[in-house]
Structures are given as C-alpha cells and as structure tokens.
C-alpha cells in the first residue's frame, strides 16, 4: 500500500506547493466558500463537500501525509462528525494523496522522531504525535513498537499498520 508513495519525488511536492500558492493568490480576489485553494482534479467536489464544513477544505493543503496517514486523518475526521460514505472514502483518499502526498522513505525511529516527522512520515495527527513525545519524555525510550500501546490517545492501529516503516532504536 505504501510502495507507490516511494516513487513520488520531492519535485512533485514543489509543483503542488506552487499550485496551492497560486490558487491561494486567486482567492484573495474572488471569495468563495471552502473549496478555494484546493487544486482541481477528480474527487475535489466530494472532498470539498465532506471536508469543507467544519474548517475550510484548504486545511488539507497545509499537511503532507502518506496514503496511510491520509486514511487515518479521514477516519479521525469521521469520528469528529465528517460524513464520508464508503464510496466517498477512496475518492477522497485518492484526491488527498494525489495532491498532498508526504514521503516515507526511511524507516522512522519513534525514539528520536520530531513532531513534524511523526505527523508527516508517521501519519499521526498533531495531538497523537505530541502524546508520543510526551510519553517518551516521561518514560524514556520505547523498547518495542508494542510499547506504543501505552501512549494515551494514540490510535495503535496506525503503528500496527505501518510496522514495516517504523523502528525503535
Ligand atoms: C465535523 C467537523 C469536521 C469535518 C467535517 C472535517 N474535519 Fe478536519 N478537523 C476538525 C477539527 C475539529 C480539527 C482540529 C483538530 C485538532 O486540531 O486537533 C480538524 C483538523 C484537521 C486537520 C489538521 C490535523 C492536524 O493534526 O493538524 C486536517 C488535515 C483535517 N482536519 C482534514 C480534514 C479532511 C481531509 C476532512 C474530510 C474527510 C475533514 N478534515 C473534515 C473537524 C472536522
């Protein structure tokens, strides 16, 4: 599932960042609700509808995540009340990973990873990444990935799902 994210290059990120910046510039002239600032493409309408109600859909443009990371975000947003049907889930996931992909090239060492790395490469939400760091500070290094089960507020499934790209050293 992760493998195709490996093929994406940083250059794409730059192009997308430029596209988003461009769209953001246009937005100052024309003020439209929620979808503005998001690149056009298949799935945009569905994404704006599902993700543009509580905050602007553009919020997604501020983050770069792996495919797994985006799946976790959508699940998290569903728990917050986002209405995403089974049919819409993969459409939104494709849209977000096409335009806002982060890279996960190196295995991530959960004992040293920064907040940003835990979010971008580890696919954790901001508060989960913060909880991992807090736990690390209080209890010392993780000895096995299973130790992450003890981190309050962390959805361990996210660790479980990307075991092959996470290490504790
Ligand atoms: C029912 C309201 C609601 C809907 C609908 C919603 N969100 Fe959110 N979203 C939130 C709230 C509340 C936060 C702030 C969470 C936080 O800061 O911890 C948030 C934060 C975020 C963040 C930032 C996460 C972070 O860790 O900083 C992203 C990215 C995001 N949402 C994406 C989405 C996407 C993609 C969708 C559509 C699938 C969506 N949201 C739909 C309520 C919603």
Q: How confident is the model at residue 104 (pLDDT cuts 50, 70, 90)?
A: low
Q: For ligand 1, what atom is nearest to the CA of residue 53?
A: 5
For atom 34 of ligand 1, the residue with the nearest CA is: 51
Pick among 3.30.420.40, 1.10.10.10, 1.10.150.280, 2.40.30.270: CATH of 108-167: 1.10.150.280
Q: Is the pTM of this model over 0.75?
A: no
Q: How confident is the model at residue 42 (pLDDT cuts 50, 70, 90)?
A: very high
Q: Which of 136, 98, 91 is nearest to 117 (CA)?
A: 136
State the distance from the centre of ligand 1 to the C-alpha of 143, rounded, in angstroms. Answer: 32
Q: How confident is the model at residue 34 (pLDDT cuts 50, 70, 90)?
A: low
Residues of the chain within CATH 1.10.150.280 domain(s) are 108-167
Average pLDDT, the chain: 79
Region label for 144, one of left (φ > 0), alpha (ψ between -120 and 50) or beta (otherwise): beta
């Amino acid at each position: 599932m992760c493998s195709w994210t490996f093929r994406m290059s940083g250059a794409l990120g730059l192009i997308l960042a430029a596209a988003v910046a461009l769209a953001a510039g246009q937005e100052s002239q024309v003020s439209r609700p929620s979808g503005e600032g998001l690149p056009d493409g298949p799935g945009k309408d569905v994404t704006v509808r599902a993700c543009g109600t509580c905050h602007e859909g553009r919020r997604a443009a501020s983050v770069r995540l792996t495919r797994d990371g985006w799946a976790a975000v959508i699940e998290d947003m569903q728990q917050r009340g986002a209405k995403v049907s089974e049919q819409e889930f993969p459409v939104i996931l494709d849209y977000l990973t096409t335009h806002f992909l982060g890279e996960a090239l190196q295995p991530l060492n959960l004992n040293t990873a920064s907040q940003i790395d835990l979010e971008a490469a580890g696919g954790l939400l901001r508060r989960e990444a913060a909880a991992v760091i807090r736990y690390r500070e209080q209890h010392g290094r993780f000895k096995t990935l299973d130790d992450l089960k003890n981190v309050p507020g962390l959805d361990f499934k996210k660790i479980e799902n990307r075991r092959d790209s996470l290490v504790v050293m």
